[in-house]
Amino acid sequence: MKAFVAGLMIALFGLATPALANQFEAELKALATGRIAEVVSSASVIDAIKAQNAQTAGYDQAKIDELDKTWRAEADSADQPMIDEVMERPVSVFLSEVQEASDGLFTEIFVMDAKGLNVGQSEVTSDFWQGDEAKWQETFSKGAGATHISDLEEDESTQTVQSQVSVPVVDPATGEVIGAATFGVNVEKL
């Protein structure tokens, strides 16, 4: 019933209101500490982020901007070598399998490194650098246990009402936050 009301509110009023955005907060937080926590603590995710952190540790903002610019250009092109390389990584395959097994609950999943750069993803994102967005800033820098829940939005292509749930990724060996993850959640499937 909540999903119907959410869809109706968005259909009637266009954009989600703050009250509507919080309507699923309890369920989304429970998802963050349950299924999402299981995925982001997997060896596939941890190992991929640690490997990329070793590679990107010395990147400055100019390098990050260059990578993001390349990604954005490829997203609008038929030639996508950078995007293809990321999408073919084992962690991206793993995230795609998690999304597929969710029976429509997860609409996208992507993990980011300590710089906010994509490490792996189930769907192609519009940009490569997430470090300038709340999904990374409100999780990576806030530490273990942080959760960022976005406002509800209607995805016009799928006609579903969604929210993004983002969490930090913690290295179980050290307790250190090493990255972050974002899950697009179809709230009609909660």
| Per-residue model confidence (pLDDT) at position 22 | 62
Please report, in tens digits, the pLDDT of each residue of the chain (190 residues total): 444 545 544 454 444 444 454 689 999 999 999 999 999 999 999 999 999 999 999 999 999 999 999 999 999 999 999 999 999 999 999 999 999 999 999 999 999 999 999 999 999 999 999 999 999 999 999 999 999 999 998 877 667 889 999 999 999 999 999 999 999 999 999 9
Structure tokens belonging to residue 177: 């936050």
| Per-residue model confidence (pLDDT) at position 15 | 45
| Per-residue model confidence (pLDDT) at position 158 | 66
| Per-residue model confidence (pLDDT) at position 1 | 46
43-56 vs 90-101: helix axis angle to the nearest 10?
Answer: 140
Residue 141: give the domain boundaries: 2-189
pTM of the model: 0.89
CATH of the domain at 44: 3.30.450.20
| Per-residue model confidence (pLDDT) at position 16 | 45
Could you give the number of structural domains in the chain?
1
Residue 159, Ramachandran bin (φ over 0: left; ψ between -120 and 50: alpha; else beta): left
